[in-house]
Amino acid sequence: MASPVLRLQKSRDGVVLGVCVTPRAACTRILGVHGECLRVAVQAPAEKGKANQALLRFLADRLGVCRTALKLTAGETARHKRIAVSGLAAAAIRERLAPPERRESS
């Protein structure tokens, strides 16, 4: 069975990816790809935008971009979100979000 592929879409804001967030996790980390969305657990609670901010900081760090290169375009109060990344190509985003064992074997 083929492993799921992260769906990335070009838009005027950059490359958009779908993210499914689990707040109040033991640690902030990527859980994998579910369907076509990236699953991410964040330690922050889902209150007053704390989980959104934690998610954006984590993704910016993982992608190696400034926090301002990321924009939450949909799902502010939902677990399923859409995030636009500016300044990176889709291939670079896939590579940087891949699990460590997959990045090393490439």
Q: Which residues contact 38 (CB under 8 A, 6 or more apart)?
A: 6, 17, 18, 19, 20, 30, 32, 97
Inform me whether the pLDDT recorded for 103 exceeds 50: no
Q: Kindly list the structural domains of the chain, giving each domain's residue range(s) and its CATH number in brackets, ordered by start.
A: 8-105 (3.30.1200.10)
Pairing of strands 80-85, 14-22: antiparallel
Task: State the average pLDDT over residues 34-46.
Answer: 94
Inform me whether the pLDDT recorded for 106 exceeds 50: no
The least confident of 7-16, 37-46, 70-79, 95-104 is 95-104
Per-chain mean pLDDT for the chain: 90
Task: State the average pLDDT over residues 64-87.
Answer: 96
pLDDT grade, residue 2 (50/70/90)? low
Inform me whether the pLDDT recorded for 105 exceeds 70: no
Pick from 37, 40, 65: nearest CA to 51: 40
Task: State the average pLDDT over residues 42-69.
Answer: 96
pTM: 0.89
Inform me whether the pLDDT recorded for 86 exceeds 70: yes
CA 19 from chain centre, in angstroms, equals 5
